[in-house]
Structure 1
Amino acid sequence: MSKALFTVGPVLSFRGVSQTGQWQVTALVGVVAGAAFPVLSVDGQSCPAPKVLLERPKETILRYDLSCDQQAQERTVQFGLGQGGPQWQFSIPGQDYAPRMAYVSCNGFSDPSGMRKLVRPENAVWADLISNHDSDLRAASYVLDKEQLWHEGRIHDKGLKRFHLLLMGGDQIYFDSIWEDVKPLKKWVGMSRKEQLAFKVSVALEKEIESYYFGLYANRWLPDTRRDWGHSKPNLDAADAMARIPTVMMWDDHDIFDGWGSYSPAMQHCELFQVLMRHARRAFWVFQLQHAVDDLPPLQLLQRANVSQQDPQYEPMQWSARLKGDRLALPLLDGQPGFSFGYHLGPVSLFVADLRTERSRTQVLGADTWTAMQAWLNTLRDGKPAYPGSKCQHLIFLSSVPVAHPKLSLAEGLLDTFGQDHVLDSNADDLKDHWSHGDHEGERKRLLESLTRIAEQRMLRVSIASGDVHVAAWGSCYRRDIPPTSNWAQIQQFTSSGVVHPSLIGVAERLFLQLLNHTASKVQSIDVQHCVEMMLFPGFNRYVMPARNWLAFELDMGGETGCKLWATWRCENEVGFSNHLQAVHPAQK
């Protein structure tokens, strides 16, 4: 009876650090419609009355404020239901210290048959992450050997183990099942292209689509098969993780449906696709960004001269004005139509890029979003530290699709020549999604120029966290005109995917893996200055690690010249998990 208490949740969400020094966290929960709102407490105090985010015929979605004061040293606080009800914990970093972060992507699967290929349980990777996070939930076979890493100097303090943030870089939920579960859509898939483009969405069908998008979160994030909250044996699944580590989420295509943004302009703009996007966007706003559904304005096409129909430009939002009544609103960038936002957290800053709202086959971000992102980058503080934690020394840029990835030019050319718009065949859109695709090379160059510019101006290191591709990989983007000793010009990318989705394990996928590893050995020259290079995966003799995995980011605060960022992949194998570490050293001129 997983839903004895809540229909969904609790799902924690990080909302930033307030001007008064509060570590702002919210909890989303769903309750049966008409039921009394649960009374939650945090850190020994009753929570304020919850904010209603959404009211559905059978459930109400609520958001509770769990914010607590940040203190000189890190601490763990407890929240939950009173009178013997279940309790959870989350941790708060000390003032001026960087949060320890875990990164995951691809929490689900597009094809149920793929899950039958797994040699270990569906939630084995989540279990490993949770067991490394919370000693009370640990299983001995999953524990990361912090004692050994401490002796090797790879982490600063062997006693610190809990994560403060859970970065979720895309595909937190897979909506591809809508094409099978909603019968009119299953029929639509079998129509001719002409019939698909002319298809009209009835009022009844739109209501069914809306119900599907809002209902699937509860089914996937708190499935009926799991043990209820308060059970003596934890489930060690995504729900356990999201209830114990405040999340930072950004969507990718599967949060809408597979390949959104990489179809032909005619298909992207057809009535059915626009209806699907509208309701996926509203559900994402409520469940992943934890905002009231009534606070979301519709996307409006910008009526501007000389704008290509292939590259839709939407009216930018003044989010701060739109959400001024919500004290716990996310810091969405003003002047953009999408949901990009960022945080400054002591010696580390975090930028979360929305790469889906404005995506087309030839566009990743619209003009207004580029301007808003540049303005945010200019708010970064200088990286040279007066004391540990005083300045921003590392920027982590969340990109749902990889910036550095093997480039398959021949396959791109074939798909461009013999392209397709079939929603059940993801091969074409997967390639067209990547920054490395020929149609997006200009924007990839612009992104790298923007990131290296701010790295030089502020003397800090930039790292990219990415997912999507169902493998673990390490890439490097660098300026060839800058000496290697000036490491600010080197951007490392850490790809981690998937936490649930199977990696490349089928026969055809293994052949594709061989092609990836062969292509990865070639340096990609973007222009006379910028190069992208795949690196041999740490502790592995190939460029691409075909394993489910998750990633940890930890800052070593003990260096006199600055903070070193450690990235640690935990990769699944048949008997357990392996550690793969890479360091990002403080910036040097």
Structure 2
Amino acid sequence: MTELNIPRRAGPILHFRGHSDAGLSLHVIVVRPADEDAPASLSVSGDETTPELLTEVQGARFWRYGVTLTAADTGYAFEGQHYDVVTALDGDLRVGFVSCNGEEHGDLHRNMADRNAMWLRLWEAHRTSPLALLIQGGDQIYADEVTDGHPLTDDWPKGLKKAPTTEELADLYGYLERRFVDRYLRLLASDQMAPLLARVPTLAIWDDHDICDGWGSLPEKVTDSAIGQTLFAVARQMYLLFQQGMVEADIPTLFPDPTGASLGWRHRLPGLTLLAPDLRSQRQRHQVMGPEGWSMVESTMPEKGDQTFLISSVPLLGPRLSIVEGLMMLMPRFQKYEDDLRDQWQSRAHRKAWQRMLREVLRMRAAGPVTAISGEIHLATRAEMTCGEGVMHQLVASGISHPAPTKNYARGLGLLAGLGEAPLKGHPIRILPLPGQNTRYIAERNFLVLERQGGTWEARWHLEESGVTPALVL
């Protein structure tokens, strides 16, 4: 097992913690080598805040500043540089959405300028018209290769040792921890991502590649094994640390589920409710969420008149995948893709859960419009579900750095979408082209910008080859 030369420096990185009459609450994370002193104070309008040592992992110390910015503040100062932050959130507003930041094999060996080309475009879009918030919708890293090279996991998810010793599992934990830390820090410190993350607060929900490909849709004998649970424990620790800026002890005060069984989150900005169910922590082959995950969804009722963004790491509205799923099970050479289909709401195994979630959407829609926002499929698309006299929109932006699939793949999926789907009687779902496009799925790397102007929300996709789409009014 080769030792990694792990970078141990990143930040500042902003994490959204809430908005109230007092202002915008943030945690600012700075990563420095363990042999360095604590970083300098952070200043907001002349008032200085000293950092707390959050944790130390693999020779990297994570320092956290807790700050609140009022609408009169323009940002913060750190180490001689001023960072502008949007602090007035009650009027016109811009929100970015990204997902699928990587690829399954060789991700860190790619040319970073090419890999992160769409991150650079997002940074340029922010410089032109600043974003107040960046939502990350899943697969913020691709951890598929972190298991390579250790004797317990080198053939993951096959050939697992049935009874590893405590010492072997401890060694595996440290090995996986090193590889996760290396992967996260290389990305967060990259020239294309770092400037944006220092100025735009983020909110992130995880998906399977933040753990491993197909987590929760793999056989339970794999995920429930001692080795599988060690992998999940490390991935969870890293998700909390790098994507939420927190540690386990923070969960009771920072997540709706104080037990941490579900890591879904819910926040409110003026006129906007954000709801992100955790579709991974409690996922099994016949379960999308457990009681704690459903409890957060079912207890959510947006403020009257709010726009609600429901962040679903896999698309909530989609084509009739059960047909493909059934055909694949008849052809042994395609059965290896079963977990990819099992990951979807539209899987035969999850149909009742899918209907349950759609009913919750209809309930929330009584308070105001609900828009589902998703990633996961490495394509850009949109959908509508009929809701009484109106529709619920779904916006899919997937693949800010993941290479786009072939255009033939996108066409084939578009043909399948033409069959239609209606999991709830009287509420048909239609997959539709993006504004300005004539096919249902666009095979280009992309991200999404949502903008509120004069109380009206619009969405625009930024496509790598086709450019920015015309606005879709929500």
With normalisation by structure 1, the TM-score equals 0.74
List aligned pairs for 1:20-169, cutoff 5 A: 20-71=21-72, 76-82=74-80, 86-94=81-89, 96-97=90-91, 99-112=93-106, 121-135=114-128, 161-169=129-137
Percent of paired sites with the same residue: 26
Alignment of 1:503-514 (within 5 A): 503-505=404-406, 510-514=407-411
Could you tell me which residue of structure 2 aligns to residue 564 of structure 1?
A: 456
Contact 1:263–1:421 under 8 Å retained in 2: no
Provide the alpha-carbon RMSD of the alignment.
Answer: 2.8
Match of 1:228 in 2: none
1:355 aligns with 2:256: no
SS for the counterpart of 2:155 is helix
Equivalent in the alignment of 2:326: 413
- Judge conservation of contact 1:435–1:441 (CA < 8 Å) in 2: yes
- Change in CA separation of 1:398 and 1:11 when aligned onto 2, cut-off 3 Å: same
Q: Which residue of 2 aligns with 1:581?
A: 471
**AA partner of residue 346 (structure 1):** P
Say if 2:326 is the partner of 1:404: no
Q: Deviations over 1:400-448 (max 9, x none)?
A: 11011233334312444568999xx6x3322111111111111111111
Report how many residues are paired.
Answer: 467
Query: What stretches of structure 1 of length at least 5 have no aligned partner?
Result: 136-160, 224-234, 297-318, 324-329, 384-391, 558-562, 585-589
Misfit runs of 4+, over 6 Å: 113-116, 418-422
Q: Which residue of 2 aligns with 1:148?
A: none
Q: Which letter does structure 2 place at the counterpart of 1:80? A: F
SS of the counterpart of 1:204? helix
SS at match of 2:345: coil
Equivalence map 1:462-477=2 (5 Å): 462-477=370-385
State the match for 1:306 in structure 2.
none
What residue number does 1:495 align with?
396
- In 2, are the aligned partners of 1:259 and 1:433 still within 8 Å (CA)? yes
Q: Give the secondary structure class of the aligned counterpart of 2:181.
A: helix
Distance 1:362 1:98, change over 3 A: farther
Distance 1:420 1:254, change over 3 A: farther
Q: 1:121 to 1:270 in 2, by over 3 A?
A: same
Contact persistence 1:104–1:169 (CA under 8 A): yes
Q: Distance in 1 between matches of 2:162 and 2:441?
A: 39
Distance in 1 separating the partners of 2:107 and 2:198:
29
Residue 492 of structure 1, CA deviation: 0.5
Residue matched to 2:143: 175
- Written as runs of structure 1 = structure 2, the 5 A alignment for 1:380-395 is 380-383=302-305, 392=306, 394-395=307-308
Asked if 1 retains the 8 angstrom alpha-carbon contact of 2:378 and 2:445, the reply is yes
Q: Give, in whole Å, the separation in 2 of the partners of 1:549 and 1:580.
A: 14
In the superposition, the TM-score normalised over structure 2's length comes to 0.91
Deviations, residues 512-554 of structure 1 (Å, cap 9, x unaligned): 3222010111220213233221012221110001111110111
Q: Matches of 2:339 and 2:24 in 1, distance apart?
A: 39
SS at match of 1:179: coil
Alignment of 1:252-291 (within 5 A): 252-291=207-246
Q: Distance in 1 between matches of 2:437 and 2:105?
A: 29
Question: Match of 1:246?
Answer: 201
Contact 1:340 1:354 in 2 (8 A): yes
2: CA distance between counterparts of 1:17 and 1:114? 36
**CA 1:473–1:56 in 2, change beyond 3 Å: closer, same or farther?**
same
Whole-angstrom distance in 2 between the partners of 1:403 and 1:435: 6
Q: Deviations over 1:486-522 (max 9, x none)?
A: 32xx2100000111111113xxxx4432220101112
Q: Give the whole-Å Cα distance in 1 for the aligned partners of 2:359 and 2:244.
A: 29
Gaps of 5+ in 2: none
Partner of 2:170: 203
CA distance in 2, matches of 1:286, 1:114: 20
Determine the C-alpha separation between the residues in 1 that align with 2:58 and 2:369. Answer: 49
